[in-house]
A and B are shown apart, each in its own frame.
Chain A
Amino acid sequence: MNEAFFFGPAARQLFGNYHAPAGGDGQVLTVICPPLFFDYMRTQPTLRRLAISLAERSQHVLRFDYRGTGDSFGEPGEVTVSDWVEDIALAVREGLDISGSQKVRLLGVRASALLACRSLGAVSNFQRLVLWDPVPDGAAYLQEIRGVQAILVQRHLRLSRDEHHQGILEYAGHPVSERMLNEFRLLDASAYSVVPSSKLQVVSTSPVKPFPVAGVSQNVAPVACNWEMDTEEPFMPQSVLLERLIVCLTTP
């Protein structure tokens, strides 16, 4: 059973989707922090499937959209990284209210890995953070999107000079603020270091991209996610990846 709803203060409501545990009164709440920009649409089916699977294993699960993304209120150009970090804390509080759980586990996907690490100070009952293909740092992530966006704009042969200029500055078709970019650039790999390695697990789809912090358990699920592609076309849930994520999020 799942229930979609809006939550949070009236001026900045977020869209959420709560999956109730299939059996028993689950003690664990998992909050899924979705990725951003191109990655957001591409991972939607996988994250939904994961949420259903976790609920079938007696977990409470909350998926949500950050401000300015998905069905939530606002536009990417109006929000900042700190807003998104606040949104995670807000989603956790909402999930705890709904579920009455005592333990919180977070899943951070791609750039959300950095945001989730930053949010932990405001997350009560935190037990574990699982990262799926975490980006190395904010600057590298922005550079990757800019590269993809440049290719995308190059394909447009009939743009005016102004349109071309504006297009190059967008992130996956969304204008974003300079403040957002600056805050992203400040998110370096040290964000990962603040999480005790005993509470951190990483699931990577590529064995050639090591996690920047030593001593963290890293699981490889070889799946072609092709994050560098300039498409929003979703990829279908892959069992090898789901199994890894489920193990990381359900092992006591």
Chain B
Amino acid sequence: MSDHALTEEPLHIGEGGRLLGILTLPAAPPGNARELPVFVFLSAGLLHRVGPRRLYVHLARELARMGFSSLRVDLAGVGDSSPRPGLTNEQSITADYGEIVSALESRLGPLSLVLGGLCSAADHAIKLAPADRRVIGMLLLDMVCFSDDRFVVRAFIARYLKPARYSAWLMRRIKAVSIPFLDRFKGVGQFSLRLSNVPTREQIRAAFEAIHERDGRVLSVFTQYALHNYYNRPGQLARVVGIDGYRRFCTELYWPEAEHSYDLDAHQRRLIEEVKTWAAGYSHS
């Protein structure tokens, strides 16, 4: 596919072309094209490489207009990529990643990478980044985040400052009378622990440390999905990661007004502009 600013080509990846991705390239690469990282957008849950409301398509094409190449790819078992029978999810993703990078290097030569995407894609990026020195950036949209020491207090305040809650409070109180009051908050902030395959607190920290050591950069954005589940204050991720100099290489945004899949055009456009602004930092460095 082409328009005046970019070209796109399908990339059949791995043995027998098991994985399918779309490679987006700037039509006229800038002078520093070889120094710019290639963005790799991993599958967001079960959604295929297009992403919710074509988010990955829009990101890829906007980044190409800035001179960045990118690959949006279906991981094994998602979209147009065949599953890897007999492997665990983690093993399958590790195998996918090896083949993805190999295919990209065959096509583009030596490269550096920005890994990321929405939800599970962000979680995969966190797990893959520490072991690969080519990864110099992460784009993390609603990555999982652990609670910091004030999370429960903030959740409590937020819950009880909502006027709508009072109308039903009495009924809930009667039903919950047998449950000790503070026990009801024990599950809050533990969302990530109930899901399989999400990164641990240590893996999150390791990924951020690795990017920091490589002079890389991280953009994380949290929406109302995170607010409802595991994130309720700007800077919570910084406190969880706990790395000196976090703010020098990380941009952490909190958009409780946006929905997880950026289901309104205005929210998606705002995200794309934010990613473009962040990505421009690679052009300047």
Contact = CB atoms under 8 A, between A and B. Distances in A.
A88 interface: no
A41 B118 CA distance: 16
A165 to B, nearest CB: 10
Interface residues of A, number: 37
Interface string B214-258: 000000000000000000000000000000000000000000110
Contact of B256 (A72, A158, A232): A158
Contact of B10 (A4, A156, A159): A4
A170 B264 contact: yes
Which applies to chain B's interface (DSSP): helix, strand, loop or mixed? Answer: loop
Given A2-B80, A166-B265, A173-B263, A13 B50 contact: no
B49 interface: yes
A155 B259 contact: yes
Chain B CB within 10 A, most for which of A45, A156, A173: A173
B34 interface: no
B12 interface: yes
A73 interface: yes
Contact of B265 (A4, A45, A175): A175
Interface size bracket, B side: 20 to 34
A48 interface: yes
A163 B54 contact: no
B12 A4 contact: yes
Interface string A152-193: 110110110001001100101111000000000000000000
Interface string B157-177: 000000000000000000000
Contacts of B49: 71
B265 A170 contact: yes
A234 interface: yes
Nearest to B22: A71
Given A174-B53, A175-B265, A13 B46 contact: no
Nearest to B21: A4
Chain B CB within 10 A, most for which of A10, A158, A175, A232: A232
B8 A6 contact: yes
A70 interface: yes
Contacts of B12: 3-4
B257 A71 contact: no
A15 interface: yes
A48 to B, nearest CB: 6
Given A173-B262, A232-B47, 19 more contacts: A4-B80, A6-B1, A6-B8, A41-B52, A70-B57, A71-B8, A71-B57, A73-B1, A152-B263, A156-B259, A159-B264, A163-B264, A166-B265, A173-B268, A232-B52, A232-B53, A233-B46, A234-B46, A234-B47
Interface of B: 1-3, 8-10, 12, 20, 22, 45-50, 52-54, 57, 79-80, 256-257, 259, 261-266, 268
